A and B are shown apart, each in its own frame.
Chain A
Amino acid sequence: MTDGAGEDHRQFSLGLLRGAGGALIFGIPMLMTMELWFIGFYMPRERLFLLLLVNIPLLVVLARRIGFENTFSWRQAMRDAMIAYALAIVTSGLVLVLFGVLTLDMPVREWVGKIALQSVPASIGAMLGRSQLGQPDEEEEDEEKGGQLNTGYAGELFMMAIGALFLCLNVAPTEEIILISFKMSAWHALAAIAASLIIMHGFVYAVSFRGTHQLNEHTPRWHALIRFTFPGYIVACLISLYVLWTFGRLDDTAWTQVMMSMVVLNAPGALGAASARLIL
């Protein structure tokens, strides 16, 4: 074995460990949420299956963007996405066994359901773990990837969707989401929509976080509001609806109630969408 190959192996196993770390950090709030254990075994299997399928292209695009390795081709991105997914499955399974949520006398259906549902947010966590826990100097200085990176408009919306999905998955399974929507009046909901939009815009453009977005000097500020913040809110709305439907929160529910739940879930969803634009 040459030195170069040895170095590659070290880098790769370091990436695996960071991925598992990310899956743990980002996954643990959900692994310790009781509703997610229950939903894991009673939710309709076709919705669970769809969620697992939807997760794959999300991971591939994320891998292409931040990657376990220096990912350049779609083939490599596919491989990294699968590694992240596998890491998430193993990590989720181990943690659930550790907490005594999964025991040997449970049927296979329950094991699979619980682990499968948890692996979706954990796999996004595994991807983020690689990018956020890694040291920037080793990956960004010595490669050509530095310099300019252009993100297409669709890509920007896609990143927002991933951010919204991650935060929605965190909170949507809890009963609090529908309970809050019952406690809120329509006036509260209107205020929540306005607050979400203001927070989204402020997060990305006004508050100077690392990774903040800027406009050219002679572009009016409202341009970004229309081109990015409003579409971002709509993307978060769609993701909220999808997640609520997946967890069976929309079945036999009146339209007004659907919208109220969506607005409630969008408070964290919009936050997730905005922070994804900063982080990714």
Chain B
Amino acid sequence: MTTTNRNRDPKRHIEAEKPHWIEWATGFVSVLLVLALAGWIGREALIKSADTPELSVRVGETIRKGEHYVVRIELQNRAPATAAAVRVAGTLTSAEGFEEISETTFDYAPAESVTKGGLLFRADPSAGRLDIRPTGYSEP
């Protein structure tokens, strides 16, 4: 508990001398939580050090939206290093040999995380051969 004396200037707060046990309980639980947080991050600091992201693209379902076919993609980064401005290019080769190229840029591919996006094509991707891969990134 804290007592505030509003008549005095400047305003002062005085903490209670004999606090309720719950204040101590909360305090110690909080100390444990902060230590756990520091421990987790400290472990990362000690054992995980990679400066090259490991990027891969998982191709999801294809949906027809208006005049385009949307191919949903998930950009996965398995390494503990973050990549920025990741470009993903998809090449759709039709049975007749025509190529259609679509591109997108992901602002970030955070370390050990998945980011979602999509590529748009005019032709139906299920009728041809689709190749989607990350083509480059920059360090944040």
Contacts and interface: CB of A to CB of B under 8 A. Distances in A.
Interface in A146-165: 146-153, 156-157
Contact of B37 (A151, A153, A228, A259): A259
A254 B6 contact: no
A153 B13 contact: no
B17 interface: yes
B37 A149 contact: no
A219 B15 contact: yes
B23 A227 contact: yes
Contacts of A213: 2, 12-15
**Overall SS of chain A's interface:** helix
Interface in B1-23: 1-7, 10-15, 17, 19-20, 22-23
Nearest to B107: A175
A230 B27 contact: yes
Interface residues of B, number: 48
A253 B114 CA distance: 7
Contacts of A122: none
Nearest to A150: B3
B27 A231 contact: yes
A211 B110 contact: no
Given A190-B38, A190-B41, A256 B19 contact: no
**Overall SS of chain B's interface:** mixed
Given A226-B31, A263-B41, A146 B7 contact: yes
Interface in A239-267: 252-257, 259-260, 263
B113 A179 contact: no
B17 A219 contact: yes
B30 to A, nearest CB: 4
B110 A254 contact: yes
A86 interface: no
B129 to A, nearest CB: 28
Nearest to B43: A186
Contact of A182 (B24, B42, B108, B115): B108
B34 interface: yes
Interface of A: 140, 145-153, 156-157, 175, 178-179, 182-183, 185-187, 189-190, 193, 197, 210-216, 218-219, 223-224, 226-228, 230-231, 233-234, 237, 252-257, 259-260, 263, 277
5 contacts: A153-B23, A157-B26, A178-B110, A213-B2, A256-B44
